[in-house]
Structure 1
Amino acid sequence: LQNLVVREFEPADKQEVQQLFHDGMMEMVADTAFRGLRHHPESLLLYAAMTVLCFVITVCWWVIVLLPLILLYGRYFYSRRMIHRYLEQASSRDMGDIQGFYMKSNSRLWVAVLRGKVVGIVAAVGQQKPGGPVELRRMSVDRSCRRCGIGLALGRKVVEFAVAHKYRSVVLGTTSYTSPAHQLYRRLGFR
């Protein structure tokens, strides 16, 4: 990606950054609602037990088909609601005032720009005093540009920021359902 530019956030980027963050978070609805079931066998067992119990009580075959679909829809609806609530909170805090929250001496937000379009974002939030950790936040790459090294370039910016500002370490949090993100973070040296 010779045309990729990773630079600091500018106020003109705000709408694209917010949209990219929103889209990235909305992708997590399916991850948490469906793919997350692999990580929670107790939920699968509970759903199976509920289906069998309803069948025993009602003796209706359509319950075996309908109840799992209702349960999956319920998981999807709940996940979507939680993600929307999280997006609202982020919009009222850091993502609503990117310039004021991130563009300070101990914090930064970078954008990855490809052919004039923002295709990736990442933020670093450090403590006021150097020596502590800096947090990698808001990593998101446009779905159509993944697996091209954009996430790696953004992650390296955070590490460079931490070194330049004498932070002791870089920390981050992510879900257990996003294995591509885990692979990226391992490539960046995270454990």
Structure 2
Amino acid sequence: MATIQIRKYQADDDEAVKEIFTLGMSEHVPSSFVHLLKQPPTQMILMCTFCALMASSKSILLPVLAVTLLLAGARQFVVYIFNKYIDTSLKLDLNDITGTYLQQKDTCFWVAEYDGRVVGTVACLPNENAPGCLELKRASVRRSHRRMGIAQALCQTVADFTRERGFAAVILYTSVVQTDAQKLYERMGYEKIREFLLPELFAKVMNFTLIEYRLDLQRDRKED
């Protein structure tokens, strides 16, 4: 039976890592679209458009068509936002994983290998806003290999790395739509520190909240 191996990133993993990241981020489009539809301003716009056209045209076809086009436009807006984030990430840290995560102090990038195939990723580096803490980043697992404990093993690898280097805690950020990730982090002992909106206009329009989690390793050491 194949086993899961967590190892450091190698240059040959580059294509697989970028594929896992891209597919993983793209999976959040449907849930983000639903999140957008649940927002009161979105519902108000759709309702007002439907009612106004219904009253003026005296026909059901035009308002239905208009609302359908608005929904299609809203979904394309969400797709655009995620594609822009993916493209930016691929041009920044994921464009030079070795230089960003393997040649800098207190940083690392790991992959999870299953049956000779890279199926998961995770990384860490010092958190800019919390001195003495490392930040968990780029955690993702192929859909076909979830529910196998790979994500938890990757996150534990970061926690062990952080503890070995004497840092106080692991910090990470996830979004309001990533409910499975939130459940995993909370099972592993992460505590929700705060929720906040990104300063970008799209985040305000979508009410797209980010959540900051913290795993306090000093507390774990005292309990041990």
Taking structure 1 as the reference length, the TM-score comes to 0.91
Aligned-pair distance for 1:102?
0.9
1:173 partner SS: strand
Q: Secondary structure of the equivalent of 1:95?
A: helix
| Aligned equivalents of 1:56, 1:125: Cα separation in 2 | 57
Describe how 1:12-91 pairs up with structure 2 within 5 A: 12-38=12-38, 40-91=39-90
Aligned AA (1:82) = I
Distance 2:175 2:127 in 1: 24
Shift in Å at residue 188 of structure 1? 1.6
Scaled by the length of structure 2, the TM-score of the pair is 0.78
Contact 1:134 1:170 (8 Å CA) reproduced: yes
Give the 3 Å change call, closer, same or farther, for CA 64–84 of structure 1 in structure 2.
same
SS of alignment partner, residue 154 of structure 1: helix
CA contact (8 A) 1:136 1:158 kept: yes
Whichever residue aligns with residue 56 of structure 2, its letter is I
Higher strand share: 2
| CA distance in structure 2 between the partners assigned to 1:165 and 1:133 by the alignment | 10
Number of positions where the alignment pairs a residue of Structure 1 with one of Structure 2: 189
Structure 2 SS opposite 1:148: coil
Alignment of 1:59-138 (within 5 A): 59-103=58-102, 104-126=104-126, 132-138=132-138
How many angstroms does 1:56 deviate by? 1.8
Quote how far apart the aligned CAs of 1:44 are.
Answer: 2.0
Take 1:13 and 1:135, find their aligned partners in 2: how far apart are those partners? Answer: 22
1:45 CA drift (Å)? 3.0
CA–CA distance in structure 2, aligned partners of residues 165 and 69 of structure 1: 54
Q: Report deviation, 1:170.
A: 1.1
Per-residue displacement from partner, 1:123-155 (whole Å, max 9, x unpaired)?
111159x96221111111101111111110011
Aligned twin of 2:220: none
| Contact 2:36/2:42, CA 8 A, preserved across alignment | no
**Distance in 2 between residues matched to 1:139 and 1:176, nearest whole Å:** 16
Percent of aligned pairs with the same amino acid: 29
Q: Does the CA-based 8 Å contact 2:133-2:169 persist in structure 1?
A: yes
| Matches of 2:131 and 2:151, distance apart in 1 | 25
What whole-Å deviation, never above 9, does each CA across 1:101-122 have from its counterpart, x for those lacking one? Answer: 0113221111011001111111
Corresponding letter in the other structure for 1:121: T
Corresponding letter in the other structure for 2:176: S
Match of residue 189 from structure 2:
189
Q: 1:168 to 1:37 in 2, by over 3 A?
A: farther
1:2 is displaced (CA, Å) by 5.8
What is the CA distance between 1:59 and its match in structure 2?
Answer: 2.2
Residues 154, 36 of structure 1: CA spacing in aligned structure 2 closer, same or farther, 3 A cutoff? farther
AA in 1 matched with 2:24: G
Hey, what's the Cα distance between the residues in 1 that align with 2:180 and 2:171? 18
Residue 7 of structure 2 corresponds to which residue in structure 1? 7
Q: In the alignment, residue 15 of structure 2 is paired with which amino acid?
A: Q
